[in-house]
Chain A
Amino acid sequence: MTLALEVKNVIKSFQSDSGEIRAVDDVSFAVEAGEFVALVGPSGSGKTTMLSILAALLSPTSGQILIDGVDLANMSEAERVALRREKIGFTFQSNNLIPYLTALENVQLMLRLNQRFDRAGAVRSAELLSRLGLGERLNNLPAQMSGGQQQRVAIARALIHNPTVVLADEPTASLDTERAFQVVQTFAALIHENNRAGIMVTHDLRMCQYVDRVLQMRDGKLVKIFTSREEILQLAKGE
């Protein structure tokens, strides 16, 4: 297996009136290509800050984040923008899609951003959306789709350009239970199938049944890593 992402001793601290706050405190882990990992923890545990750092949206105070062996901690802003475009796929909690682009155009946008949009890319985008059950919705605008359908379009957009790492921030937050399971299951399948490294931040432990590993954070620290299937299923069942 190839290491897609390596996080080494990452610290992110903020200054507040009461002094320094460590939102991420000396966190280290690695994710291999084809591995789907959940980052869980209570509110304020630092998981969203960790995700922002992995997405090159936030610089760590110290430590290293290597994507395909390249450290993004020392990159310029322009390099980070290029990295987000080329190496990272991203889905958010909500407001995921560009409202004036159709489902197909939203997916193709990643190819256009990467100057890789051509006839083959257009076909591939449509196929991926069809694979996600949206074959009839290709020309629908986001407002004409349900929350689950929008999340699936966002997943397609996050994968279409073959990024090294796919990040998902609470992808099921605005979905009902049935839709949430469907979305995460599809997401996991595509991560494995396309051999990408996937990291999902979630507070809904039930979703962990579809991941290969669970990283649990508390107070900015990585406190536990669940690797065995039994442990993960127990966690998902809330036992």
Chain B
Amino acid sequence: MNNLSLATYLSWQEVWRNRGRFFLVSLVIALITLLVLFIAALGEGLGNANSQYISRINADLLVYLEKSDFIIPSSRVERSTVRSIRRLDGVQDAGGISTSSVAILLPDDEVLKVSLIGVEPGKPGDPAVTEGRNLAGEQSKEAVIDLNVIQRSDVRVGDLITIRATQGTKDEFFTLRVVGSTEGQLYSFQPSIFVPYGTWDRVRAKSDAELDSPSSTVNVVAISLSDVSAAQTVSDALTARIDNVEVADLQTAVENVPGYSAQQSTVQTQAVFTLLIGVLVIGGFFQIQILQKVPQIGVLKAIGADNFTVGMAAVIQIIITTTLGVAIGSSLAFIFSLTFPPTVPIVFNGLNSAIAIAALLLIGPAGGLVSIFYAVRIEPLKALRLS
């Protein structure tokens, strides 16, 4: 214990008396921290922007067309199938979900592109509203809008919105009343508006061939289960009893949203490389510092300091420098995050930030390992040139 307090004393005195030099290294670590936290936040933001609706959906399983590779736009499930699914044991409820993309007309000839999601009111896939009321009726001309729509336009609950969709070769315009708002429902990098399925089929973008025939399919079917622990059993029963479908849990569904996995792996690779650069920078600094301190460490050992004291002093110094750098970097990241508009896909998630900060705190000692071993192995005789 005394050795530890001596090591703390020595390391603190050195850091304090050379605070300019150590502060500069802490600033480098702060910049690395800022970069890592922003990359983590960018990963979270991009992931959210692409799949937030799916990841927060009020369902346990999603049913796709067989061999659609769990890609929602590629999947087509007959509406009659939704009814068959509802009758299966273990299924509490099921609702069809259909997706498309339209533009909301805003004042001054501006448009806001949104994901148009058709749902069955009151069924899985219909999001919970935070203001106003839920959708009602299969054909009603009403919409529930994502909070992101409100943040990016002047549209409020109770307003009428005009949407533009290309049907055949013409732009068609439809008016819907906003009856409620929901939050955290980004999908396909756009804020979402939710409409009843019948309305969706009428106002969505269509090709010439689809103009005269109402759709009889939905993209996927969202299922809520009576018992979540029986998910695999229900999934097996579903694929066995219903033709041409495949079932995914929400994790699989999210990972297969187009672009999601590629994006996440790219961002994670960047984060790992940034951490590696951090290890090299910190390792390099402390190694150079130890090399400069060889005679001084030799004196310490010659007058009776043991290896624990010398090694621990180096460890504590690294911890002080890294902690200060991570604290500055985290604070800067927090301050910058307050300045970003909602359109920038940077989302600081508590858990991801905590993991990134923990990793950053570990890279200090990891980077300094070589220098710590070097310090411990210094022989006083050689360091003092007595041999």
Out of A100, A105, A110, name the residue touching B303 (CB < 8 Å). Answer: A110
Name the distance in Å between A38's Cβ and chain B's nearest Cβ: 18
Q: Is A123 an interface residue (CB 8 A)?
A: no
A113 to B, closest residue via Cβ = B304
The reply to whether B386 and A84 contact each other, CB–CB distance below 8 Å, is no
Rounded to whole angstroms, the CA-CA distance of A78 and B387 in the bound complex is: 20
Rounded to whole angstroms, the CA-CA distance of A166 and B358 in the bound complex is: 48
Rounded to whole angstroms, the CA-CA distance of A37 and B306 in the bound complex is: 29
The reply to whether A100 and B13 contact each other, CB–CB distance below 8 Å, is yes
Q: Is A112 an interface residue (CB 8 A)?
A: yes
B297 to A, closest residue via Cβ = A98
A80 to B, closest residue via Cβ = B304
The reply to whether A92 and B6 contact each other, CB–CB distance below 8 Å, is no
The reply to whether A90 and B303 contact each other, CB–CB distance below 8 Å, is yes
Rounded to whole angstroms, the CA-CA distance of A157 and B303 in the bound complex is: 10
The reply to whether B2 and A115 contact each other, CB–CB distance below 8 Å, is yes
A96 to B, closest residue via Cβ = B299
Interface string of B272-307 (1 = CB under 8 A from A): 000000000000000000000001101111111110
Name the distance in Å between A162's Cβ and chain B's nearest Cβ: 14
Rounded to whole angstroms, the CA-CA distance of A173 and B259 in the bound complex is: 72
Q: Is B381 an interface residue (CB 8 A)?
A: yes
B2 to A, closest residue via Cβ = A115
Out of B9, B13, B299, B301, name the residue touching A92 (CB < 8 Å). Answer: B299
Q: Contacts A58-B387, A141-B17 given; indicate if A84 touches B302 (C-beta within 8 A).
A: yes
Across chains A and B, the number of contacting residue pairs, with CB separation under 8 Å, is: 66
Rounded to whole angstroms, the CA-CA distance of A100 and B17 in the bound complex is: 6
Rounded to whole angstroms, the CA-CA distance of A99 and B300 in the bound complex is: 11
Q: Looking at A78, A92, A105, which has the most chain B CB atoms within 10 Å of its CB? A: A92
The reply to whether B296 and A57 contact each other, CB–CB distance below 8 Å, is no
Q: Is A28 an interface residue (CB 8 A)?
A: no
Q: Is B14 an interface residue (CB 8 A)?
A: yes
Q: Is A216 an interface residue (CB 8 A)?
A: no
Q: Is B169 an interface residue (CB 8 A)?
A: no
Rounded to whole angstroms, the CA-CA distance of A103 and B387 in the bound complex is: 28
Q: In chain B, residues 337-384, which have Cβ atoms closer than 8 Å to a Cβ of chain A?
A: 380-381, 384
Q: Is A209 an interface residue (CB 8 A)?
A: no
The reply to whether B386 and A169 contact each other, CB–CB distance below 8 Å, is yes
Task: Please classify how large the interface on chain B is, using the bins under 10, 10 to 19, 20 to 34, 35 or more.
Answer: 20 to 34
Q: Is A85 an interface residue (CB 8 A)?
A: yes
Q: Looking at B14, B298, B386, which has the most chain A CB atoms within 10 Å of its CB? A: B386
Q: Is A95 an interface residue (CB 8 A)?
A: yes
B9 to A, closest residue via Cβ = A112
The reply to whether A86 and B384 contact each other, CB–CB distance below 8 Å, is no
Name the distance in Å between B179's Cβ and chain A's nearest Cβ: 69
Instruction: Specify the main secondary structure of chain B where it touches its partner.
Output: helix
Q: Is B18 an interface residue (CB 8 A)?
A: yes
Interface string of A31-63 (1 = CB under 8 A from B): 000000000000000001001100101100000
The reply to whether B303 and A52 contact each other, CB–CB distance below 8 Å, is no
The reply to whether A85 and B14 contact each other, CB–CB distance below 8 Å, is no
Q: Contacts A58-B387, A105-B13 given; indicate if A113 touches B18 (C-beta within 8 A).
A: no
Name the distance in Å between B219's Cβ and chain A's nearest Cβ: 67
B13 to A, closest residue via Cβ = A100
Rounded to whole angstroms, the CA-CA distance of A85 and B2 in the bound complex is: 14
The reply to whether A100 and B2 contact each other, CB–CB distance below 8 Å, is no
Residues from chain A with Cβ under 8 Å of B6 in the complex? 112-113
Q: Contacts A55-B302, A86-B304, A105-B13 given; indicate if A48 touches B2 (C-beta within 8 A).
A: no
Q: Contacts A95-B296, A96-B299, A112-B6 given; indicate if A82 touches B304 (C-beta within 8 A).
A: yes
A154 to B, closest residue via Cβ = B299
Out of A48, A58, A85, A95, name the residue touching B304 (CB < 8 Å). Answer: A85
Q: Is A81 an interface residue (CB 8 A)?
A: yes
The reply to whether A58 and B381 contact each other, CB–CB distance below 8 Å, is yes
The reply to whether A48 and B303 contact each other, CB–CB distance below 8 Å, is no
The reply to whether A98 and B296 contact each other, CB–CB distance below 8 Å, is yes
Q: Contacts A48-B386, A113-B6 given; indicate if A85 touches B17 (C-beta within 8 A).
A: no
Q: Is A189 an interface residue (CB 8 A)?
A: no
Q: Is A101 an interface residue (CB 8 A)?
A: yes
Residues from chain B with Cβ under 8 Å of A109 in the complex? 303
Out of A82, A90, A100, name the residue touching B302 (CB < 8 Å). Answer: A90
Rounded to whole angstroms, the CA-CA distance of A84 and B301 in the bound complex is: 9
Residues from chain A with Cβ under 8 Å of B386 in the complex? 48, 51-52, 57-58, 169
Out of A98, A105, A114, name the residue touching B299 (CB < 8 Å). Answer: A98
B6 to A, closest residue via Cβ = A112
A141 to B, closest residue via Cβ = B17
Name the distance in Å between B17's Cβ and chain A's nearest Cβ: 4
The reply to whether A57 and B380 contact each other, CB–CB distance below 8 Å, is yes
B17 to A, closest residue via Cβ = A100
**Residues in A lying within 8 Å of B, measured CB to CB:** 48, 51-52, 55, 57-58, 78, 81-82, 84-86, 88, 90, 92, 95-101, 105, 109-110, 112-115, 141, 157, 169
**Residues in B lying within 8 Å of A, measured CB to CB:** 2, 6, 9-10, 13-14, 17-18, 295-296, 298-306, 380-381, 384, 386-387
Other A-B contacts than A92-B384, A110-B304, 5 sampled, CB-CB below 8 A, are A52-B381, A58-B386, A88-B304, A100-B18, A112-B6
> Closest 5 CB pairs between A and B?
A85-B304, A95-B295, A100-B17, A84-B304, A100-B14
- Cross-chain pairs A/B with CB under 8 angstroms, 21 sampled: A48-B386, A81-B305, A84-B304, A85-B305, A90-B303, A92-B299, A92-B384, A95-B296, A95-B299, A95-B384, A98-B10, A98-B296, A98-B299, A101-B13, A105-B13, A109-B303, A112-B6, A113-B305, A115-B2, A157-B303, A169-B386
